[in-house]
């Protein structure tokens, strides 16, 4: 007997019936950059992305909800004059991020607001943890991250997302949130955040590049896969609600690997370098932007991701609903 798999591809109707994975706007998180403004400023390395002031952020949230996107992830742009070695601005209740959270939740209570928890946007050293005698001080950083998470929750954040890769930070944050009465605030842990070369445009957007050295002593080695399983097991045991893999497409194998080891939701982050490459190739006429973007996002779903962070979320959501 001749096997003919093509019979299941014979028409659009048949293909839809047997399709294994779906992509919808409900799977997308839109990462946005917020600053004190006034107005918006373009990000050269990320065409189509801007640093938004609070009024513009509210407009963006309205557009996102209309397109079917239910979640925004906020990243603060901190002026150099406000940065110091301790990252003190991270704990300012009147800083740009707390004000943005409060404004969003007041205007759109149904919106899921996700906040970044790490010191690099606030630190004059540009690292995710405190720098003491030239080294990243893991344990000394944990209380600051916990305070940041509580501050964000108090302002209305639904999900706090520690992106710092300090050991033990999920447990410290979970304990602090619970003790402060925020037991329902979720933790999206950047479980497998690799020391990747794909973050350049993001660091330009926030002016958050490390001022010395690199982040290889705390972010994961791109050569390692088994280590991601260990990180995931630790974060799950410490109380994480979601596990995030970053970057996305270069690490589809890690998403698939973790999918077999956990029942927790898995998030994938299509990072700035991935986004910029798609935009650049499309602008040069080398690829069909819509087709390639949606194919790349579907690949995350196929690998096992439940949630996808992408700077192209708004475009993708509109295309999906067209």
Domain ranges of the chain: 21-321
pLDDT, position 48: 92
Give the residue among 184, 130, 176, 178 at the shortest CA–CA distance from 156.
184
pLDDT, position 1: 87
Provide the pLDDT confidence category of residue 106 given band limits of 50, 70 and 90.
very high
Taking the C-alpha atoms of residue 26 and residue 98, their distance in angstroms, rounded to an integer, is: 25
Q: What is the tens place of the pLDDT at every residue in 25-65?
A: 999 999 999 999 889 999 999 999 999 999 999 999 999 99
Catalytic residues: 193, 246
Given a contact cutoff of 8 angstroms between Cβ atoms, the answer to whether 310 and 297 are in contact is yes
CATH number given to 21-321: 3.20.20.70
Is the pTM higher than 0.75? The answer reads: yes
């Amino acid at each position: 007997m001749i096997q003919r798999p093509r019979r299941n591809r014979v028409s659009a109707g048949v293909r839809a019936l047997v399709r294994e994975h779906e992509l919808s706007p409900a799977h997308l998180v839109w990462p946005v950059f917020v600053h004190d403004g006034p107005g918006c400023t373009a990000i050269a390395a990320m065409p189509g992305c801007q640093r938004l002031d609070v009024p513009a952020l509210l407009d963006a949230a309205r557009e996102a909800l209309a397109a079917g996107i239910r979640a925004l992830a906020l990243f603060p742009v901190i002026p150099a004059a406000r940065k110091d070695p301790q990252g003190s601005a991270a704990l300012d209740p009147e800083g740009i991020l707390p004000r943005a959270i409060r404004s969003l939740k007041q205007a759109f209570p149904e919106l899921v607001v996700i906040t970044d928890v790490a010191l690099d946007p606030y630190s004059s050293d540009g690292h995710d943890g405190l720098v003491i005698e030239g080294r990243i001080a893991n344990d000394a950083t944990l209380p600051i991250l916990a305070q940041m998470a509580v501050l964000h929750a108090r302002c209305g954040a639904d999900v706090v997302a520690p992106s710092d890769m300090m050991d033990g930070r999920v447990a410290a944050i979970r304990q602090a949130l619970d003790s402060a009465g925020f037991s329902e605030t979720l933790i999206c842990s950047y479980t497998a955040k690799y020391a990747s070369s794909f973050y350049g445009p993001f660091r330009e957007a926030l002016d958050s590049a490390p001022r010395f050295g690199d982040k290889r002593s705390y972010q994961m080695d791109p050569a390692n896969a088994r280590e991601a399983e260990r990180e995931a097991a630790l974060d799950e045991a410490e109380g994480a609600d979601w596990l995030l893999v970053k970057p996305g497409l270069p690490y589809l194998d890690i998403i698939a690997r973790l999918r077999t080891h956990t029942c927790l939701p898995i998030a994938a982050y299509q990072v700035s370098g991935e986004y910029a490459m798609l935009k650049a190739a499309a602008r040069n006429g080398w690829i069909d932007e819509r087709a390639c973007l949606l194919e790349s996002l579907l690949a995350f779903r196929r690998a096992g991701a439940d949630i996808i962070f992408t700077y192209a979320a708004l475009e993708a959501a509109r295309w999906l609903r067209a």
